[in-house]
Structure 1
Amino acid sequence: MELTPLRYFLRAADRENFTQAAKDLSVSQPALSRAVAGLEKELGRPLFERDGRCVRLTDAGRAFRTKAARIVGLADDARAELVDDGRTGAVRLAVIPTLAPHLLPGLLRDFVAIRSEAEVRVAETVTAECVRKVRAGESDLAVLSNPVPDPALHVERLYEEELLAALPAGHRLADAAARPSLTVNDLQSEPFVLLGEAHCLSDEVLSFCRRSAVQPVVLERTSQLATVKALVAAGHGVSLIPAAAAGEDDGIVYRRLTGDRPTRTVVAAWDPERYVSKLTKAFLDVLRGQRAG
């Protein structure tokens, strides 16, 4: 059994789409289909149920997926361990968009200072895709916020980050002199501007509000934190923004909440069953000393 068809099978299983899997692997879709069909013939069982462009794993496919991932992982890890000199090569990092702009500049600067020959390949993407990349062996490490939606990953807490209330300038709650303290209850029934549902920050904001018995009116959803801030500045609503992202933004007043303050826990996550290179361990040591901002 060759490794290439196994890699094709695993990517198709992840994507549930042969065309997308072939694109990811930079091969033609017919070549990927032939490789998977050959694997099914060799095993004597169908691995996928085909339904137009979408494919779904059969029971046999789900059982085989675990074994195939282990085989490919062991082969990749064996090679990685043999060539690992701790100085050259690449660290493949997946990081969520609400952390990347504020965490990466200092992190990469400090890492380059101790490993100038190494390369860091960054994939900025949402939580679910960060997890998928680590599980698929496409990323060595992910930096995201808790909870991490995969119990199989090893999760290490890095730091806690406070979320600040972002208010349009001139908003009734923006004047600290007139209202010295601000609680989450003061935001009750205020229209909220949030990131799209794929972003964990929105889950954190809504979970905090629910714990505090506050039901925000979600007025806008967008995919970029910069757009959230622009909409707040334009008076479309209020939001909760990570402290590291709260700068000198025209039209926005940032305020800390008193009492029960909203926070998020920033973590590193990796697959404990995969080989962790010396370079990745060195990167982790630098990461442990970082704070966003």
Structure 2
Amino acid sequence: MELRHLRYFVAVAAHGSFNRASQSLHLTQPALSRQVRDLEDELGVPLFDRGKNSVKLTDAGERFYEEAQDLLARVATAVQKVRTDHRAEVLRVGYAPSATAGILPRALERFHAAMPQVKVELFDVSPPEMIRMAVSGQLDVVIALEPSVVATPGFKWSEFRRLSLILIMRADHPLARRKRISPKLLCGLPLVGLGRKNFPEYVPSIRRSLKPFGCTPHFVALEEDGVSTLFAGVEAYNAAAILADTVSEILPRSLVGRPFHPKFDPVVAKVGILETQHSPHAERFVAILKEFVAQP
């Protein structure tokens, strides 16, 4: 018995007419009548008493109508469940590149090997956009630097890793000859930073880091698009930039990074998992990320 025969039968019974049912199903009336006849032949009983302009269910048809409706309802529920479960097999991850540099590709590879049925969607977006997506329920996992998005409600947060700050500059920059950079050398040094609109915490955090050394940062440019644009600005202005040491993994060959001595306070990266929708996929993904962080 084909499912379409049940749908055609239920439609005719509901409309009480082959003509009206055929219009709703976008079939010709003879084709619909033929399909219902096939169903009756398969069952071996008549389902309708046919009149000139209308039809009426037989006793057998009445009983079968109830069963057919129940079966179609269960099929519709099963279809919806399958579609919902399929959508649930997507893990949405918002991340800051500096927080995940050096480990994200390897973590993704291991996660896909363990859970090949789960598709990971990555979103490299600015902190304000990440907050918007997180609040609207568009992210399952958020990986970011304090304090940018860690106050976002609805997420369970834990420390992910601690990052040291380094100075980025062109390989021919005068400070590039040094193995370590004293923070006091930054007084008056031209810097390129991340813009306030998309990275509102960057400039205030750099100011706080330099204040104990009696320095005020001198920014010659603030880039809104992110680290890649900042790299271009460092080259163009022959300036320097203060970033997390993990960016060394993605530095262009023309740029170098040097650690500070004494060191600034570390930057804390945190990971958040959406609490309102428990996801074992999210927990597994975060566990794999932390495994790679813990490796020497």
Q: Shorter-chain TM-score: what band?
A: 0.5 to 0.7
1:292/1:169 CA distance change after superposition, 3 Å: farther
* Structure 2 gaps, min length 5: 1-79
Using the TM superposition, give the Cα deviation of residue 221 of structure 1 relative to its aligned residue in structure 2, in angstroms.
1.2
More helix by share: 2
Indicate whether 1:220 and 2:246 are aligned. Answer: no
Match of 1:186 in 2: 185
Instruction: Check the 8 A contact 2:164/2:263 in 1, yes or no.
Output: no
Following the alignment from structure 1 to structure 2, what is the Cα–Cα distance between the partners of residues 174 and 253?
A: 7
Summarize deviations over 1:17-37 as a string: whole Å, max 9, x none: xxxxxxxxxxxxxxxxxxxxx
1:208/1:292 CA distance change after superposition, 3 Å: farther
User: 1:14-33, aligned counterparts within 5 Å?
Assistant: none
| Aligned residue type for 1:237 | A
* Structure 1 gaps, min length 5: 1-78
Instruction: Check the 8 A contact 1:193/1:238 in 2, yes or no.
Output: yes
1:201/1:191 CA distance change after superposition, 3 Å: same
Following the alignment from structure 2 to structure 1, what is the Cα–Cα distance between the partners of residues 207 and 139?
A: 29
Match of 1:267 in 2: 270
Instruction: Check the 8 A contact 1:168/1:233 in 2, yes or no.
Output: yes
User: 1:273-284, aligned counterparts within 5 Å?
Assistant: 274-284=276-286
Summarize deviations over 1:51-86 as a string: whole Å, max 9, x none: xxxxxxxxxxxxxxxxxxxxxxxxxxxx99xx779x
- Aligned partner of residue 174 in structure 2, secondary structure: coil
Instruction: Check the 8 A contact 1:99/1:292 in 2, yes or no.
Output: no
Using the TM superposition, give the Cα deviation of residue 108 of structure 1 relative to its aligned residue in structure 2, in angstroms.
1.1
Following the alignment from structure 1 to structure 2, what is the Cα–Cα distance between the partners of residues 102 and 133?
A: 25
Using the TM superposition, give the Cα deviation of residue 237 of structure 1 relative to its aligned residue in structure 2, in angstroms.
1.3
- Aligned partner of residue 293 in structure 2, secondary structure: coil
Using the TM superposition, give the Cα deviation of residue 120 of structure 1 relative to its aligned residue in structure 2, in angstroms.
0.7
Following the alignment from structure 2 to structure 1, what is the Cα–Cα distance between the partners of residues 221 and 294?
A: 26
Following the alignment from structure 1 to structure 2, what is the Cα–Cα distance between the partners of residues 227 and 264?
A: 21
Following the alignment from structure 2 to structure 1, what is the Cα–Cα distance between the partners of residues 292 and 202?
A: 20
Instruction: Check the 8 A contact 1:244/1:292 in 2, yes or no.
Output: no
| Aligned residue type for 1:114 | A
| Aligned residue type for 2:141 | L
Following the alignment from structure 2 to structure 1, what is the Cα–Cα distance between the partners of residues 292 and 177?
A: 33
Following the alignment from structure 2 to structure 1, what is the Cα–Cα distance between the partners of residues 282 and 256?
A: 39
Following the alignment from structure 2 to structure 1, what is the Cα–Cα distance between the partners of residues 96 and 90?
A: 19
Match of 1:208 in 2: 209
User: 1:43-82, aligned counterparts within 5 Å?
Assistant: none
Give TM-score, length-normalised by structure 2: 0.61
Identity of aligned residues (%): 17
Instruction: Check the 8 A contact 2:168/2:256 in 1, yes or no.
Output: yes
The structure that has the greater radius of gyration is 2
Instruction: Check the 8 A contact 2:183/2:213 in 1, yes or no.
Output: yes
Instruction: Check the 8 A contact 1:205/1:262 in 2, yes or no.
Output: no
